[in-house]
Structure 1
């Protein structure tokens, strides 16, 4: 089940990543502070320049001085320069091309259980799964829940997306488009602990709706001295107090539970 789940997630990310590459040529990011631009004017090598968008959102261009480009796409910035060159009688029919050699203003951070944590550029519209694919996908020990934290002025909005459920249902309405300065955090998969008279005591991934008997199976089953009678779980309540609960084999295991298997007296 675990392998199937991981395969489903990686299949979705691969398909979306391929689709993004195909559509990438039609997408344009908006310009912002820190971006480095190479501007070419056909037939006018003296006007060809490399410039950086300042903190105020402007670039410096020969004969035109400062030009505000913050929030414009490269195509829109090209048209603005063309219109300025025409309106100031500098060139009659200028042809301007802008290449974005470095986009630093549109970045998103990815942390947690992904293959490559870091900051990634947003080139045009990018969805949550686009960015996860760019980060190498979710690690096997990663969980199904992805948290998206977004700044809105002095406030922060938090969205939790269940990636596995999104894949199973085929409903991509939760595959949100990311924005500059968003933070994506991939939770580690929940764990449970099992010890006592089991073949392989230790820490294991907690699957959804896992029962005590399933947890016992993950631990390799009982030893010759073990018994299913008197199964106990150590669990912390909402206040953090440790409780010892007697459970049945059909009861559900919760995150961070410690399952204890007693030794048979007979």
Structure 2
């Protein structure tokens, strides 16, 4: 009867552990440097410890010593410790439970033109770029459509520019990157153009996708009573630093930092 009760209790603990992980969504969270965890073994209170995952992804555990847990999910880490206890002959059928006390490892930094810049934990192994941008509140009105993701992949520096709307508008799901701990997402300020002269609202405006000179003119409210859309001059800075002056067509594309001048009508 005692043996039956023990087996039942062990099974109940395992079931509770599974339910807890399912509820808190942390069973597939990849442990990383700086995470603080509590490790418990059923009916072995002397093996309960709270510890921090080292920079090399290792914890030191009673009886079995150094255990590499970095990158493992919580469930996989529980199994690794249980297997080590059983293989070492310390406990026959150990029931191990790991609880996340504080998440510091596997964080992603979101910087620039977002509603809530900061560091956010990777709570699951399949967190994608769009998920993390949503955590940060998305790009502000001044934010660019293109974001820069940097980090480390296969031991090498990684950098990629990603057009966020194209992920959904052009079905480029492959650009919705799987993030890793230590990644940084940077949302730059959207490019702008400038318009002045005989217009209703001179000033600087965000360049919308595929914007033309005609649309840029409309952003400035169009020519005023003295201006003419047929008398335009565009100042465009070239890669070599020189400024080119051209008479644009209304269908020409607007580029970052273009300066559009609307001249006074000759009539």
TM-score bracket, normalised by the shorter chain, equals 0.7 to 0.9
The offset of 1:210, in angstroms, is: 1.9
1:149 alignment partner in structure 2: 150
Q: Give the whole-Å Cα distance in 2 for the aligned partners of 1:26 and 1:33.
A: 16
Per-residue CA deviation, residues 227-247 of structure 1 (Å, 9 max, x unaligned), is 223310111111011122112
1:229 alignment partner in structure 2: 230
Matched, 1:95 2:106: no
SS at match of 2:25: helix
8 Å contact from structure 1 (residues 191, 205) kept in 2: yes
Greater radius of gyration (CA): 2
Q: CA RMSD in A?
A: 2.3
8 Å contact from structure 2 (residues 27, 75) kept in 1: no
- Aligned residue pairs total 245
Per-residue CA deviation, residues 81-128 of structure 1 (Å, 9 max, x unaligned), is 223333444333321100122232212121122111112111222111
Q: Give the whole-Å Cα distance in 2 for the aligned partners of 1:72 and 1:166.
A: 29
2:178 alignment partner in structure 1: 177
The offset of 1:133, in angstroms, is: 0.9
Matches within 5 A, 1:75-154: 75-123=75-123, 124-152=125-153
| Distance of aligned partners of 1:70 and 1:156 in 2 relative to their CA distance in 1, 3 Å threshold | closer
The offset of 1:60, in angstroms, is: 2.5
Q: Which runs of 5+ in 2 are unaligned?
A: 1-21
Q: Give the whole-Å Cα distance in 2 for the aligned partners of 1:196 and 1:42.
A: 78
1:254 alignment partner in structure 2: 255
Moved more, 27-36 or 117-126: 27-36
The offset of 1:30, in angstroms, is: 2.7
Q: Give the whole-Å Cα distance in 1 for the aligned partners of 2:134 and 2:119.
A: 13
The offset of 1:188, in angstroms, is: 2.1
| Distance of aligned partners of 1:92 and 1:158 in 2 relative to their CA distance in 1, 3 Å threshold | closer
| Distance of aligned partners of 1:27 and 1:131 in 2 relative to their CA distance in 1, 3 Å threshold | farther
Q: Give the whole-Å Cα distance in 2 for the aligned partners of 1:90 and 1:224.
A: 90
Matches within 5 A, 1:6-45: 25=25, 28-45=28-45
SS at match of 2:86: helix
| Distance of aligned partners of 1:167 and 1:23 in 2 relative to their CA distance in 1, 3 Å threshold | farther
The offset of 1:177, in angstroms, is: 0.7
Per-residue CA deviation, residues 202-236 of structure 1 (Å, 9 max, x unaligned), is 11111122222221111111111112233101111
Q: Give the whole-Å Cα distance in 2 for the aligned partners of 1:211 and 1:187.
A: 22
Q: Give the whole-Å Cα distance in 2 for the aligned partners of 1:255 and 1:200.
A: 19
8 Å contact from structure 1 (residues 230, 247) kept in 2: no
8 Å contact from structure 1 (residues 231, 261) kept in 2: yes
8 Å contact from structure 2 (residues 41, 95) kept in 1: yes
2:50 alignment partner in structure 1: 50
| Distance of aligned partners of 1:170 and 1:228 in 2 relative to their CA distance in 1, 3 Å threshold | same
8 Å contact from structure 2 (residues 231, 265) kept in 1: no
| Distance of aligned partners of 1:193 and 1:24 in 2 relative to their CA distance in 1, 3 Å threshold | farther
